[in-house]
Structure formats: C-alpha cells, structure tokens
C-alpha cells in the first residue's frame, strides 16, 4: 500500500447529511426510551443511513466508559449504576422499530465484577421474548478476559458474538492502554470453541480501524491471528479523529486499498470482510447475518 499523508480528508470520506423522517423517528424513540446508541456516542459516519433504514446499535450501561482509549469518542470517567429496566426498554424499542436483527454493544465497565456480562444476557433474553425470531448481535468489551463472564453472554445464545481487536498489537499501548491484544484474541478463540462444543451456529466477528500508524505486514499478521482464532467476519474502516485531543490520523487509505484488504482477508480464510473507508463495526450487520445464519 502506498502511504497517503493525512492532511485534508479525501472526497470519499465526505459524509452524507443526517436527517429525514425515519431518522428523526428513530431518534425520538430512543429519547423516549432513555436509550443510548453507539451511533451517536461514537459519532458514527453511517448513522444517517442506518437510522433511515430503521437500524440502530444500542449502547448498554450508560454513555460513560471506565477506559480511556485515545481513538474513541465515548467519554471515560465516573460511571452510573446499572439500570435493571434497560434490557426491557431495548427490547420494546426493537419492537417499535420493527427490527428483525438487533445489534447491542456497551461501554466498558471494569467496575462490575462480570464486566456487564449478565446485563448483556438479560438484554438478549428480553429482545427474544419481546421479538420472536429477531436475530441478535452483541459487540462486547473484553470482559477482562474472564471465561465465566464470556460464558454468561454465550449461554444467552446471541447469533453473532463480536469483539473488536481495533488495531495491531504494537499500537495497543498508545490507542488502547487498558487493553491487551492477546486477551482480545482469547475472547474470540473461546467464543469459537464454545460454539463447537455446544453445536452452535454462532458467528464470531471482529473489527479494526486503519490509518492509525499500522504497517501492511502488521495488518496481514492481524488477519492471520483472527482466522487462527476462528473469526468468520471482519469489518475494516478508516480511523477518523473525533477531536484534536484524540490520536491523529496517520494516513487515509484509498477505496482500492480497502478492496485489497478485503480480498486478502478472504484469501486467508475469513468468510466475510466488510471493508471500506466509512465501515464501522455494525455496518451492514443485518446483511452479514442474513448471509451467514441459517
């Protein structure tokens, strides 16, 4: 890949305007239910498209994180107690939106003994009870590598278990100082083993951002690591600096480079690679599930 100096954003990163009748309807439902979405908290560039199609990625356990990743727009700091009614409010909002596939993620809650695993499980159960036949993807934090916490989430039988590697291991101290690359790999590998042991059709998924200083060789090594851990689906998108205080963009990758990364991932054994400049973790999640789930 040819380095591209990160100066002005290239034309392919111009985001469409947000708004429209359906977009506003989704926002009203979320406000009425006092729910957060990662679409808004992380300033996702696709939220207009997703809201317009009646899709949103629910953000559990508040909008404040116990970690301080230098790439993330979600604020870190003092967190609030869990809201026991949140799982049911999510389920009811899924019903009102008429979703056939729901994506649920969370802030990282290192203050909780199980990292919020039981809250994830309760949300999956509530969605299924209120919305029979609705698929569920969970995008979970690393749960500090606790196998029992991960088992709690997996036992609730999500259709897709997503945990993002985010970046190459060399950049973890800079971008994810409170996380560990090997711990994240272990979450993915345990999920794949659990699926094999329980005869589950679980899809294991991860995502990364590029343009933060990684090398081409490091990206290939990460793709191999993901395949070795049993990952089937990967999302790859361009990092966009949320504010001047966040980690800078080192370079912008051209669309053709994303296409090459997708082809490389598939050649190494990934079943589905969603790679483009504006791709984020939940982008086209419903389409991926439709293509992989029975």
| Structure tokens, 264 | 């490389």
pTM over 0.85: yes
CB 22 within 8 A of CB 49: no
Element (H, E) at 25: helix 21-32
Domains recognised in the chain with CATH numbers: 18-292 (3.20.20.70)
Half-sphere exposure of residue 179: CA atoms within 13 angstroms, side-chain side: 29
Mean pLDDT in residue range 46-63: 69
Question: 61 phi and psi, to 5 degrees?
Answer: 70, 30
Q: Sorting pLDDT into bands at 50, 70 and 90, what band is 238? A: very high
Ranges 2-6, 27-31, 218-222, 273-277: which has the least confidence: 2-6
DSSP-assigned states of every residue in 245-292: TSPPP-BPPPHHHHHHHHHHHHHHT-SEEEESTT--TTTTHHHHHHHH
Mean pLDDT in residue range 255-270: 98
Nearest to 103 by CA among 227, 279, 288, 270: 288
């Amino acid at each position: 890949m040819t380095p591209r100096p990160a100066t002005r954003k290239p034309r392919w990163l111009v985001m469409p305007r947000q708004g429209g009748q359906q977009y506003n309807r989704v926002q009203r439902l979320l406000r009425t239910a006092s729910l957060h979405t990662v679409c808004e908290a992380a300033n996702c560039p696709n939220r207009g498209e997703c809201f317009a199609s009646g899709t949103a990625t629910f953000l559990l356990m508040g909008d404040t994180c116990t970690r301080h990743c230098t790439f993330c727009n979600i604020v870190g700091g003092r967190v609030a107690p869990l809201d026991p009614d949140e799982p049911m409010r999510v389920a009811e909002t899924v019903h009102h939106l008429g979703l056939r596939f729901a994506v649920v993620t969370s802030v990282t809650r290192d203050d909780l003994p199980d990292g919020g695993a039981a809250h994830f499980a309760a949300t999956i159960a509530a969605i299924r009870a209120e919305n029979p036949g609705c698929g569920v993807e969970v995008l979970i934090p690393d749960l500090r590598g606790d196998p029992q916490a991960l088992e709690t989430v997996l036992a609730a039988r999500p259709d897709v278990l997503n945990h993002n590697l985010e970046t190459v291991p060399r950049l973890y101290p800079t971008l994810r100082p409170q996380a560990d690359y090997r711990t994240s790999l272990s979450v993915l590998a345990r999920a794949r083993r659990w699926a094999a042991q329980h005869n589950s059709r679980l899809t294991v998924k991860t995502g990364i951002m590029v343009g933060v200083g990684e090398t081409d060789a490091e990206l290939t090594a990460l793709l191999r690591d993901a395949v070795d851990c049993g990952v089937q689906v990967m999302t790859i998108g361009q990092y966009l600096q949320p504010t001047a205080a966040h980690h800078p963009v080192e370079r912008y990758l051209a669309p053709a480079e994303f296409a090459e990364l997708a082809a490389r991932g598939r050649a190494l054994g990934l079943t589905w690679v969603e790679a483009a400049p504006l791709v984020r973790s939940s982008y086209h999640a419903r389409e991926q599930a439709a293509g992989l789930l029975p």
